[in-house]
Structure 1
Amino acid sequence: MGCMEAVLLTWVGKRDLEAITCTDQGPVLSTLKAFQFSRVVLLSSYSSSELRKYKSWLVERLRDSAPSIESHHEPLNSPIDFTSIYQVADRHLQRLHSGQSNLSILLSPGTPAMQAVWILLGKTKYPVTFYQSSREQGVEQVEIPFNIAAEYIPSAVSVNDQHLANLINDQALVHAAFDDIITQDPNMLRLKKQAQILAEREVPVLIQGETGTGKELFARAIHNVSRRANQPFIALNCGAIPPELIDTTLFGHKKGAFTGAASDRAGVFQQAHGGTLFLDEFGELTTAAQVRLLRAIQEGLVTPVGSQKEESVDVRIITATHRNLIEDIANGGFREDLFYRVAVGVLTLPPLRSREGDLLHLSETLLAGLAKQDKALEDKKLSVDAKNLILLHLWPGNIRELRSTILRASLWSSDELISGEEMQQAFFHRSQKQDGLLDRDVSQGVDIQDIISELVGHYVPRALLASQGNKSDAAKLLGLKNYQTLNNWIEKHRVKIDN
């Protein structure tokens, strides 16, 4: 194994910037002269130009002994805003924390809020060494004589294991009706009305939408409001059936039909007789299974595996998928005749991120629901900082992700008020490289300059290719004034141009 990398993380303070024009070295330079580090990470809420100037000055003062220095311009809502300071500090500590690094934090530069956040993170989440620098005492390693983690008792400790298992189970309510679909969004309210109309008819329904948007909740509500409400509601996840078990799962089998068939078994069609059959992840069925399913839906007849006798079934079909079945039809992956057989009443559920006004309303409703299920979570409320983080997050997992995140934050919170820090810890941190330019999660922090550079780097080479290398024509294609402006963009954003 190689040597451990010694990393120092610090904000750049006012005294550090002033050191450029006076005899005072400032806390950062003083620390780097007193202790050896292989890598230094500078964070600054001052302007990018001030940060660049300071970094160059720092490298010049250290000369041959200069460690690897990286700098990050981190605009904050204000230098005393705990939420934005926490987000920046936690993101960098998480990035730098590894088994190959010894992490150190210089406490002295920055505001008291910045110092408080360093201590909270360094005593609860990340193993770090603290340093401080002052004119009077010089530079010294400091010990902080308390353990926040040991004194921090989350609500999870008092939640009964069985209750916790029930809280984790987020399946749609068995008796769900349309009142259980919580929304203030005009589009969702319109979909609820449409679903109520469909519930009164016997037509097949196709529910489309991303994972976690509430497709099963809609399906159960349609069933519970329909004339079949007192009959069975059978739900089947088509994506979870092994190919060799599709027929027996759908249509059942007779005793002795195959090895292990010790008795007759009803398939989901027979189980749902008189009621509703909900086929979730409908688009995952193989094309061979689609053929047999189409016949069963059209004719209301099924043949159990191992039997020569058809059985009549009376079921209402509700299907759901997160796939674009029209594209699958065009690609040969899904049968067009089956699609149009089930897509009579169609509901397309929007993702949570586009549901206007629903995020906080849903969050508070879910929080109240958790409190009803377990007294240990009673009186939990969301702080303003927690609400702001909820509004900033993109919720790729939709309502299912929102519910599990609210649950994690509730369990970890030691007070009645769930803080921004506790909500931040409850999030899953995803790599931004997987997101589109317009889908970056602002709650995790973004670098707008990098995003602009990525956009410029994408379109400039294409414009040059379209104009056969003529920069004046390429500039026109991009809406720029002239080729000189284009050159400036290429240089500023370091665009790679193939010759």
Structure 2
Amino acid sequence: MNKQRVLVCWVGAKDLNSLADENPGPILSTLMAVEFNRVELLYSYPETRVKPWLTWLSTQVNLQINAHYEPLSSPVHFAQIYQAASRHLKRLAPDACLSVQMTPGTPAMQAVWILLGKTRYPMTFYQSSPEQGVEQVDIPFEIAAEYIPAANALSGEKLVQLSRLDVPFDAAFDRIVTRNPRMQQLIQQSQILAARLVPVLIYGETGTGKELFARAIHNASPRAKGPFIAVNCGAIPPELVDSTLFGHLKGAFTGAIQNRTGVFEQANGGTLFLDEFGELKPDVQVRLLRVLQEGVITPVGGDQEKKVDIRLISATHRNLMHEVGQGRFREDLFYRIAIGVLHLPPLREREGDILLLAQTLLQEMAKQDDSLMDKRLSPEALKRIQNHPWRGNVRELQATLVRAALWSRGTIITAEELHQALFILPEDKNDKADIDFSEGVNLQALMSDFSRNYIRQALAYTGQNKAQAARLLGFNNHQTLNNWMKKNRSE
């Protein structure tokens, strides 16, 4: 009896958002690109958010879909994630040919998939992106059993603390680790804004420290003794946006079993930090503009206005001026929030800061757990850190150091151990900043890797139809493609 091909993965935010977006999300993209008999999904989101997506997914693919709720206390709780994933894999392993889609979920979930897939349950790894599509991932290392006790030596609570990278409540400008002149200028500008109480808009890629700056501005302001309320606008289900922002009265809608205070009212007298502000839909922007102009809110289901006094700090990774030009963001709201504007640079542009941050993060990890007290990076590992593009910025650096420290067998984290902890995207292979010329470069091998990547994608897109793939790749016919594949050992 042939084993069933089973795809296993966590349900991620990009998948749930695919109901509204044109992008199908990592899970559906994989099911469309690769043939499976069924899919086993794990999720920790509320069922009210997941069920509609599951119903929609079942209309997009013709295969068995099993979904399992896992009540994680945190999406980065290693112990709970490990237990949930291993429990399901143990049940599936005897009768299934396992594959896992690593893209959805948190870095902790990705790390657990690799640990399980390399030690207990052989599986095929996939990842996806809008730019590269769905790709099978070759993880070029084996994890010996001795790596696992290092992770087990730390409690789940400690692992959560190490991986979370929470912004401290007492965050101040001296907690921003930098030697970079551009960052130092931003700190000076932020100190000026803190005293003026004007609305602040912070631009920056994910993981660049937007909330750290927001908390520091609050703590240095006259409102420091008031509350600091942070909310991620992109994580609020559309049907709960008004309730989250403005509150609701009991019975206002199905499920409103008691009164709820919204974040505007919670932040009264203090600072409200709205992260991922650019994700708010136009209809919400209209209601938000009125609140900012008039300083009053009306809870959902109520008819009595409430006065609120808040200092607004918003943050986004989007270019809001471009969004205004495209009609996706209200111009009047933009000029209301964009009084003090800060553009945080990505880590790769912060000259002099990458190694400083790496050392500082290791020191912070040692403070949280004595078993990591003596961990330090080898010169070769430091060089690897310096050359990596860090697309996830400080958040990616933190997650990588946690993994490297867990898997390192000695006090020195080697370059190889750091490499094992990195998630290398396919495009990194052709990134000049990621190429080490010290021992020469095999240009032919790089070109072969580059071509193999596109040939695999073209064949996957056409369902392994070489004639169609040849046309997409610019070859005269499929025989020319065959010759190219043989020459580059792509078959």
Q: Using structure 1 for the length normalisation, give the TM-score.
A: 0.59
Q: CA deviation at 1:397?
A: 0.3
Q: Structure 2 CA distance, aligned partners of 1:150 and 1:315? A: 53
Residues 208 and 348 in structure 1, CA contact (< 8 A), matched pair in contact too: yes
Query: What's 1:202 paired with?
Result: 197
Q: CA deviation at 1:216?
A: 0.4
Q: Structure 1 CA distance, aligned partners of 2:443 and 2:200? A: 43
Residues 394 and 439 in structure 1, CA contact (< 8 A), matched pair in contact too: no
Secondary structure at the aligned position of 1:333 is classed as: coil
Query: What's 2:92 paired with?
Result: none
Query: What's 2:482 paired with?
Result: none
Q: CA deviation at 1:447?
A: 6.2
Q: How many residues align?
A: 316
User: Cα 1:262–1:150, aligned 2, differ >3 Å: closer, same or farther?
Assistant: closer
Structure 1 residue 344 corresponds to structure 2 residue 339 = yes
Query: What's 1:183 paired with?
Result: 178
Q: Which has the larger radius of gyration?
A: 1
Residues 385 and 419 in structure 1, CA contact (< 8 A), matched pair in contact too: yes
Structure 1 residue 421 corresponds to structure 2 residue 416 = yes
Q: CA deviation at 1:450?
A: 8.3
Residues 283 and 323 in structure 1, CA contact (< 8 A), matched pair in contact too: yes
Gaps of 5+ in 1: 3-93, 101-120, 127-148, 456-499
Q: Structure 2 CA distance, aligned partners of 1:411 and 1:99? A: 22
User: Cα 1:333–1:377, aligned 2, differ >3 Å: closer, same or farther?
Assistant: same
* 1:107-118 alignment, distance < 5 Å: none
* 1:304-360 CA-partner distances (Å, limit 9, x unpaired): 111111111000000000011111111111111111110000000000001010011
Q: Structure 1 CA distance, aligned partners of 2:378 and 2:372? A: 15
* 1:10-59 CA-partner distances (Å, limit 9, x unpaired): xxxxxxxxxxxxxxxxxxxxxxxxxxxxxxxxxxxxxxxxxxxxxxxxxx
From 380, 384, 402, the counterpart of 2:379? 384
* 1:205-220 alignment, distance < 5 Å: 205-220=200-215
Query: What's 2:469 paired with?
Result: none
Query: What's 1:227 paired with?
Result: 222
Q: Structure 2 CA distance, aligned partners of 1:150 and 1:257? A: 55
The alignment-based identity, stated in percent, is 57
Structure 1 residue 442 corresponds to structure 2 residue 435 = yes
2:163 maps to a residue whose letter is I
Q: CA deviation at 1:259?
A: 2.0
Query: What's 1:125 paired with?
Result: 142
Structure 1 residue 166 corresponds to structure 2 residue 161 = yes
User: Cα 1:212–1:152, aligned 2, differ >3 Å: closer, same or farther?
Assistant: closer
From 279, 286, 289, the counterpart of 1:291? 286
Q: CA deviation at 1:155?
A: 3.4
User: Cα 1:150–1:329, aligned 2, differ >3 Å: closer, same or farther?
Assistant: closer
1:390 maps to a residue whose letter is I
* 1:305-320 alignment, distance < 5 Å: 305-320=300-315
User: Cα 1:450–1:282, aligned 2, differ >3 Å: closer, same or farther?
Assistant: farther
Gaps of 5+ in 2: 3-117, 125-138, 451-491
Q: Structure 2 CA distance, aligned partners of 1:447 and 1:328? A: 43
* 1:267-416 alignment, distance < 5 Å: 267-416=262-411
Secondary structure at the aligned position of 1:200 is classed as: helix
1:174 maps to a residue whose letter is F
Q: Structure 2 CA distance, aligned partners of 1:352 and 1:382? A: 19
2:206 maps to a residue whose letter is T
* 1:437-486 CA-partner distances (Å, limit 9, x unpaired): 7666337998656889999xxxxxxxxxxxxxxxxxxxxxxxxxxxxxxx
Q: Using structure 2 for the length normalisation, give the TM-score.
A: 0.60
Q: Structure 1 CA distance, aligned partners of 2:152 and 2:448? A: 47
Residues 271 and 312 in structure 2, CA contact (< 8 A), matched pair in contact too: yes
* 1:55-113 CA-partner distances (Å, limit 9, x unpaired): xxxxxxxxxxxxxxxxxxxxxxxxxxxxxxxxxxxxxxx9xxx989xxxxxxxxxxxxx
* 1:415-451 CA-partner distances (Å, limit 9, x unpaired): 1111111111010021118x9x766633799865688
Query: What's 2:250 paired with?
Result: 255
Q: Say which is worse superposed, 424-433 or 390-399, in terms of deviation.
A: 424-433
CA RMSD of aligned residues (A): 2.9
